[in-house]
Amino acid sequence: MHRRINITLPEETIKLIDQVIEKGESPEETLDDGAETPAESVRSRFINEAVQYYINEKALARVREQLKQGAIQRAERDLGLVEEWFDLEEEACQINEK
């Protein structure tokens, strides 16, 4: 299902969009019944894909940041565990070498 919305974009942004997409008709053309022209349809698809891509990238960035913060928070604990077990591993290695 699609829903029509009206958005306002700077002219420069519209020019950039038009440079990127391949249009079959001039964007200024409109149909008498108010339906989207093929060029508007291409723009709509392009904007939809761009918004979906942006949302996905923001979600990935949020997950990466959460993973980073989790790793930073666990670093002190992990270092403590390494220090605790280091002496035991050294002792085990020395026993195995004998």
Long-range CB pairs of 25-31, under 8 A, 24+ apart, other chains included: none
CA of 18: how far to CAs of 35, 48, 53, in Å?
19, 14, 18
Give the CB-side neighbour count of residue 92, counting CA atoms within 13 A.
5
Structure tokens of 11?
Answer: 């002219």
Residue 23 has pLDDT above 70, yes or no: no
- For residue 25, what pLDDT is reported? 44
Q: How confident is the model at residue 28 (pLDDT cuts 50, 70, 90)?
A: very low
Domain spans of the chain, in order of start: 11-97
Residue 95 has pLDDT above 80, yes or no: yes
Residue in this structure with the two tokens 């993973």, named with its chain if needed = 67
Model confidence, pTM: 0.60
For 49-77, write each residue's pLDDT tens digit: 999 999 999 999 999 999 999 999 999 89
Alpha helices in 1-98 (DSSP H): 11-20, 38-97
